[in-house]
A and B are shown apart, each in its own frame.
Chain A
């Protein structure tokens, strides 16, 4: 097995930065008690202003005031950690969150699918950069060694035991994962590189140091297997973005919405699933949340499509108060079946398949706006059609000519004495379901030359009601 360790050196900061529209603006994360606020992490722009992690907030504000502040939230960092594990899960079934701020991914089994390691690595880096996370990647034959080597290296790929021992031997003792007092003791003994520690006789190490030290050494060198808990993806997607300000126009919500939908798409790609129904919750200060449900006819996971559909629904939503947070919830995650495409498509510029077009129309016009048409075997015109495409399409009963256009509601014919071309045709049906109909239908021609389909109550001629046009 070969393990790639992806170290995320500023996970909490990246998690905050990717929510901001302008990630290059100076930003500092603060933590600590209210009496003593301390900068926890700073981004490069803030570092250029002279801010450092560990500074007190007062000292930082004495230097400059041109930087944004955000609260450091350990929960938030963990949430991003899990999100990245879900992302990594699409590349390997063995992903571990054992170390904070780092992902362990078993890659050997994935190489045949994702190509040789350099290509695989390039893809991982590209996707992480797109997601907005800074990272370092190292590959080693065992997970502990990978985690230790990533402390000092980036892009290192060691595939065999011997070079791994050599590379580990070069590591300074402080950075190989010993407890701080153990590392201090080693360096005071004059052992500065791990190589020197490995060269010590085992019994003396066992006598002078806690048992953990030898265990850790053995795990590093791969002589003692390291048990890992593997990540299992959750069955629902629930991500929330808190806005630091009140938003009143939907334009300002589009950026967080885009982040949410692309995160959802990344999550779905990792599960190899799709989403059929999700809810965007807009949170308000002192009102109940506004729910914007987004429903699709079939499972989808295309990020651009999810964003566009959510946007179409969001633009129509009405909110009672300014929005303070956006949350995306997806509970129904059915299996994704890719759309069937023709190999030799007749239309060269077919830019959008019908399914996608239909979703787009439904998103803007409403769920019921697009429908098919089916004939029902019923003599009453009102019941001879249905919008549902699932209805059994029976063959039309052989009848006299019927008009192409049917009025939704019959209206009185304005013309007093039209010319009757054919008729009457008695339609008498429906006594069993309450929709009893007894009418005489006539084909008439108006003085404008229109051919209409009119009826009068059975037995009468006159008081025509217009019911259709023979267009």
Chain B
């Protein structure tokens, strides 16, 4: 029988993982989908952080997922920047979704400049949300975006192909959208375990 170790001292050394850290303060950025909010540890988008949206193919609902947030931010007067979107945003549809187009700015850029522009927009802190479509990015570039989002206290969304889910990512939240059946899978969320079951996604 060795020396008796007080339980408090053992915990204090942080050599024992206690399973569940202190609950995170609730996010001020609800996603607009009640089922998704409940599943996330912060009850909303992680604030001042990068969120990855992973898509199997184009046009399976990334806008349906983001529109409620963008509409809420733009109506609150926050600026929304789309950096090098793959298609043209069709104004009528965006207006129908409630987005105030006066707050939407589009930055046209080549692949390399797009990352730079995204980082500048995030770091400046003058935008409410920044959306980007990075094509071939490595872990380092994503980390830069994550740090920029933190320093600018801005919501960052990166839409990437689903095959990127095999690689680790520094994003605070990773959500994969499945088309059939239409559902959301949370692959990673900072501050808690990812919910094991997919969340039905019935926006269509």
Asked if A317 is at the interface (CB within 8 A of a chain B CB), the reply is no
Determine chain B's interface SS by DSSP, over half rule: mixed
With a 10 A CB-CB cut-off, give which of B56, B97, B109, B126 has the most chain A CB atoms.
B126
B60, A471: Cβ atoms closer than 8 Å:
yes
A297 to chain B, nearest CB (A): 13
Produce 1/0 per residue, A419-451, CB < 8 A to B: 000000000000000000000000000001111
**B116 interface neighbour in A364, A366, A401, A449, Cβ under 8 Å:** A364
Contact digits for A350-366, partner B, Cβ 8 Å, 1 yes 0 no: 11111011101100111
Q: Does B87 sit at the interface, judged by CB under 8 A?
A: yes
Pick the residue among A349, A371, A396 that contacts B106 (CB under 8 A).
A371
CB distance from A352 to the nearest CB of B (A): 4
CB-defined contacts of A374 to chain B, threshold 8 Å: 91, 101
Q: Does A448 contact B57, Cβ atoms closer than 8 Å?
A: yes
Bound form: Cα–Cα A469–B62 in Å? 11
Q: Is the CB of B106 within 8 A of A449?
A: no
**A35 interface residue, CB < 8 Å from B?**
no
Classify the interface of chain A: helix, strand, loop or mixed.
loop
A335-390 contacts to B (CB < 8 Å): 347-354, 356-358, 360-361, 364-366, 368-376, 381, 384-385, 387, 389
Contact B108 A347 (CB under 8 A): no
- A405 engages B88 (CB within 8 Å): yes
C-alpha spacing A368/B180, complex, angstroms: 39
Determine the chain A residues whose CB is within 8 A of the CB of B87 once the complex forms: 405-408, 468-469
B9-17, B32-40, B117-125, B188-196: which lies at the A interface?
B117-125
CB pair B59–A405 under 8 Å, yes or no, is yes
Give complex CA distance A372, B79 in Å. 11
Inter-chain CB contacts under 8 Å: number = 159
User: Chain A contacts of B116 at CB under 8 A?
Assistant: 364
Q: Which residue of A lies closest to B116 (CB)?
A: A364
Residues of A within 8 A of B182 (CB): 449
Binary B-proximity of A256-297 (CB < 8 A = 1, otherwise 0): 000000000000000000000000000000000000000000
Question: Which A-chain residue is minimally distant from B85 (CB atoms)?
Answer: A405
Do A373 and B179 touch across chains, with their CB atoms under 8 A apart?
A: no
- For residue A358, which residues in chain B have a CB less than 8 angstroms away from its CB? 105
Given contacts A375-B92, A375-B95, contact A404 B204 (CB under 8 A): no
Q: Does B137 reach chain A (CB closer than 8 Å)?
A: no
**Known contacts A352-B126, A450-B58, A470-B59; A384/B92 CB under 8 A:** yes
Residue-wise, chain B 83-121 has the 8 Å CB interface mask toward A (1 for contact) of: 001111111111111000110111111000100110011
Q: Is the CB of B93 within 8 A of A347?
A: no
- Complex Cα–Cα for A365 and B64 (A): 30
Inter-chain CA distance A191–B175, complex, in Å, is 95
Given A361-B107, A365-B117: A471 and B59 interface contact (C-beta under 8 Å): yes
Give every chain A residue within 8 A of B46 (Cβ-Cβ). Answer: none
Give a binary string over A71-105; 1 marks a CB under 8 Å from any B CB, 0 the rest. 00000000000000000000000000000000000
In the complex, what distance in Å separates the CA atom of A396 from the CA atom of B96? 8
B121 partner residues in chain A, CB cutoff 8 A: 357, 361
Q: Please state if A369 and B59 are interface contacts (CB–CB under 8 Å).
A: no
Q: Are A372 and B95 in contact, CB atoms less than 8 angstroms apart?
A: no
Q: Assuming A385-B91, A408-B87, what are 20 further A-B pairs, CB within 8 angstroms?
A: A350-B126, A351-B123, A353-B126, A365-B113, A365-B117, A369-B107, A371-B105, A372-B102, A381-B90, A385-B90, A399-B92, A404-B90, A404-B93, A405-B89, A408-B88, A449-B57, A449-B178, A450-B57, A470-B204, A471-B62
Instruction: List the 9 closest A-B pairs by CB distance, nearest first.
Output: A449-B179, A469-B59, A375-B91, A405-B87, A404-B63, A352-B124, A471-B63, A406-B90, A354-B126
